[in-house]
Structure formats: C-alpha cells, structure tokens
Amino acid sequence: MAVITKITTQQKNKDRYNIFMDYGKGEEFAFSVDSDVLIKHQLKKGMEIDDFSFMEIQYQDDIRKAYSKAISYLARRMRSEKEIKDHLLQKEIEEPVIQEVIHKLLALNYINDQEFAFAYARTQMNTTDKGPDIIKTELREKGIEKTIIEMVLEEFSFDLQLEKATKLCEKAQKNSKDSQRAVKQKIEQLLIRKGYTFEIIHLAINETNMETEEDELGAIRFQGEKLERKYNRYSGYEYKQKMKQALYRKGFSFDLIDKYLAEQIDSFD
C-alpha cells in the first residue's frame, strides 16, 4: 500500500497541493488535489492510501476542478444548464463529473433556467430587433424547456412586436431605389428572417408610409438609367421590349413602365 511522504503547495496556485508518495521504490510525485479535497479526505504525511481511496480522491478532485471551470464560465454572464454542460464537455470532462457539478450549481441556485430565460429574452427584446420566433429558437438551442419559453415570450407584447417590426420597415424603405413591390418583398423577407409572424409583418407594412407615385417614378428612372446602359445596343421595338421585360421583373407596373418609356421618347425628340 502506498504511503504519503510529502505534501507541498503549488507555486502558481496556492489552493492546490502536490502529493508525493512511496510505492515501495522511493518517493515520487503522485497527484495534485484541491484544498477542499485535501481537507475532506484529511490527507497528511504518513497516511496510507489504497486503490479505492485513490480513485475516490481523484474523482472528488475532478469534480472540484470542473466546478471551478463552471464558476469561471458563469462569472462572465448568466448561463443555462445546457450551456454549462456543453462548456464542460468541450473541456473533455466526463459526464458523471459534469452531473455532480450541475447538481451542486442547482443546489446553490447558481444556475436557474427560468431566471436565465427571462433575463435573456428581456435583453433581446430591449437591445435587438429580433422577433419572437428568433428568440424562441435561441432559447430552445440553449436547452430551455418549451413551457418556460412560452411563459417568457408572453412578455413580448403584440404592440412591442409591431413597433419593432414597423421601425425595421421604415429603415428598409428609406431612400430605396427599388419598386414598391420589390421593397415590400424585401421587407417581408427581412421580417421573416428576424422572426416576426405574418400577421405582424402585414400590419407593419401597412403602418409604414410606402412610396408615393413620385417616389415610384424616381425609382423607375433610377433603375431605367442602369438598364439603358445594358440595352443601348438595341433600338426601336426590340429595345422597348427588353426594357419593359427588365423593369417588370424589377416590380414596376406596366402603366408606370409605359409612362417612363414615353418620357424617354420625349427626351429623344
């Protein structure tokens, strides 16, 4: 049976101790432990340690090291239980050790998925333009239960969603050089990506002062000038058809296209 011959404090970490033992061939370094493990197992010079005790000491020390890593990770911000587990798994810590750490953190209320979910969602609502579907997805990815997510998203009121979506509409529409139809399509896709429902998207677009006829005419002139350079090698009927098809694909109505092309003809005369 091995005997502890010496215990020294680590120079770089005063809370850890190096244990030296004699296995029958003289003193040699055996392992290191946290101060709490040292005290719990009452390790001291001259103490005999069998294989079972050694395994238990190592297991308890692994828990202490993993716990310290978890606390350091938590010190930056609140975390969900899944985030802690994933972080420790990335550190190649074994599952039984992780479970012990999680159990301790839960007992001390250092992690609480419901409190975390409310805090996370409120931050996203107040500081980002994300809609409820995106926040729901992010919470689900962080391991939050469905019932908690549903409870949390009740705070994301209909009026607040509409306000945020309308601001996104106004920002996307401002100074646009696209057709009204193209602008609406882009806004719809933007709001879908941001996580808003179709009901909110429809109302937000209606709340936004979309382009006037004069704005639409300015947009077709802007797009038309670019197309003119592309199709200037054509003339007559062929040029007119190329322009009509291209402008229609960009979302302009046939009436507006005819008006624009009539302007062009007048300018050439």
Domains defined for the chain, CATH in brackets: 1-49 (2.40.50.100), 113-156 (1.10.10.10), 164-268 (no CATH)
Q: What is the pLDDT of residues 159-177, one digit of tens each?
A: 999 999 999 988 887 766 6
**Distances 237 to 94, 147, 171, 207, 250 between C-alpha atoms, Å:** 75, 64, 39, 41, 20
44: its two tokens: 């001291």
* Amino acid symbol at 97: V
Burial of residue 253 (number of CB atoms within 10 Å: 0-12, 13-18, 19+)? middle
Q: What is the pLDDT of residue 215?
A: 63
- Cα distance between residue 186 and residue 201, in whole Å: 12
Q: What is the mean pLDDT of the chain?
A: 87
More confident position, 109 or 267:
109
Portion of the chain with pLDDT greater than 70, in percent: 93
- CA nearest 5: which of 49, 52, 38, 59? 49
Contact 142, 83 (CB under 8 A): yes
